[in-house]
Amino acid sequence: MRHPTRLTAPLSLALAFVLVAAVALGGRARAAAPEDALGYLPPDHDLLVEQALLARIDYVAAQVGVSGQLKAKVQQGGVYTASGSLGWSYAPEQLLSRKQALENAERAVRRSLRRGVFDALAAYAELYKSYARLQLSQRLRDRARAAGEADPKAEIDHEEALVQFELAQQEAAAYGLQGPPAAAPVLFQLPEVPLEDVPDYRRDLYALQRARFKLRRLWTGFAPDLSVWAGVGNDGGRFQVSASSRGPSTQLVVKTPGSGNGSWEYGFELALTVPLDATAYTAVRRAQLELQQRSERFAQARSRVETKRERYRQSAAFAERRVRLALEELRSVEEKLAAARSGSGEASADELDLQLYELQIRLADLWTGYLRKVYNYLDYVDAAWELQSPAR
């Protein structure tokens, strides 16, 4: 009896080619493995690395505290002026800001890698699942055909499995995973990360430090400012050094033509500013309240972060146990299947094949959920993907 089908001839040939190509790839090219996903680099990786490098340069510049400029100009009539300045200052608030910017930039690099590897692993999970579905649907369809029974559902399921496997191959290829899946899912470590290195904790710490610096800066506006300077100059130029109580600085100034008289000049200035605007005083009070709020929040940061970290860890750990159980079942079925094919087993090889494919589909679903939970933990503690030893 002729078996009914809804496929047109060109589509039938195209879908059949997908299965033939998948089988052929297993012999001609290295098949895909989940370990391959760990080497994936996102397309914006180099840009993020460069941004982190620029942030490090800014941070080092703030640490050194040296600044200056060279300036030259020519005026009408051929009169020219050249000047230069070199200064040093220590700005702890700016240093803190640039340190946090550096950490954020470096964390962005790690997070992009972490997310890219997760997407590649998820693509492999879909490839593993769709390949098992393809094999299962083909066995069920062939069984119906061999029995001479019309089973439109088996035909449709097989056609869909072919299409889904082709799409899974295309997605996996975007992450450098070529060929059919050759290995079962793998397991990953859940590294212990010190609480002080967890991004949530560090954000609260930086917020507290910024609030302290802000209050200190506002109070500085009410303090007297003492400035001193000394210099010497003549018709050729001038050299001057100055310092201020609001921040140590050193400045070298050279000008042409000079305005000095060839003798030393020195002096000092003591200034006291009393703001008459009420907002200057309310700003201080707001800063005090902000500091109190940040202090209270930071006092709870340790327990809050530890609880959240443990929640992510436990979620991933239980998901791992389910995957381990499924892997053990998979190995048991594979051993029974090998015995059946060698003639020493009691179970039917065909039934074990179907059981194996169904188990691989269930394992792929469990592994996908497990990957998401491991990613959530790694992303929270800012850690990288690392395989367990052994990985299966």
- pLDDT tens digits for 171-204? 999 999 988 888 889 999 999 999 999 999 999 9
Looking at per-residue pLDDT, the higher value among 324 and 350 belongs to 324
| pLDDT score for 259 | 44
Query: What pLDDT shows up at residue 314?
Result: 97
Cβ neighbours of residue 158 closer than 8 Å, sequence gap 6 or more: 134, 137, 138, 140, 141
Percent of the chain's residues with pLDDT above 90:
56
Average pLDDT over residues 65-77: 74
User: 181 forms bridges with which residues in the sheet?
Assistant: 32
205 or 89, higher pLDDT: 205
Share of the chain above pLDDT 70, in %: 79
Beta strands at 80-88 and 66-74: parallel, antiparallel or unpaired? antiparallel
> What pLDDT band is residue 295 in, cutting at 50, 70 and 90?
very high
pLDDT of the residue at 184: 84
- pLDDT one-digit tens code per residue, 119-162: 999 999 999 999 999 999 999 999 888 888 888 999 999 999 99
- Residues 325-345: pLDDT tens digits? 999 999 999 988 888 888 776
Q: What integer pLDDT is reported at residue 24 of this predicted model?
A: 39
DSSP code at position 38 = G
Residue 3 has pLDDT above 50, yes or no: no
What was the pLDDT predicted at 140? 92
Tally of helices (H runs) and strands (E runs) in the chain = 8, 6
Report which DSSP code applies to 223: S
**pLDDT confidence tier of residue 65, bands split at 50, 70 and 90:** confident
The answer, yes or no, to whether residue 312 has pLDDT greater than 80, is yes
- Tell me 71's DSSP state: E
Question: CA–CA separation, 302 vs 260, rounded Å?
Answer: 61
| CB 251, CB 238: distance < 8 Å | no
Tell me if 181 sits within 8 A of 36, measured CB to CB: no
More confident residue, 249 or 63: 63
Range 208-222 average pLDDT: 90
Could you read off the pLDDT of 235-250 as tens digits, one per residue?
556 666 776 665 444 4
Predicted TM-score of the model (pTM):
0.80
Report the pLDDT value the prediction gives residue 341, as an integer from 0 to 100: 85
Report whether the peptide linkage leading into residue 390 is cis, meaning its omega lies within 30 degrees of zero: yes
In which band, very low, low, confident or very high, does the pLDDT at 60 lie, cut at 50, 70 and 90?
A: very high
pLDDT reading at 253 higher than 80 = no
**Pair 221, 277: CB distance under 8 Å:** no
For residues 234 and 357, give the distance between their C-alpha atoms in angstroms, rounded to a whole number: 93
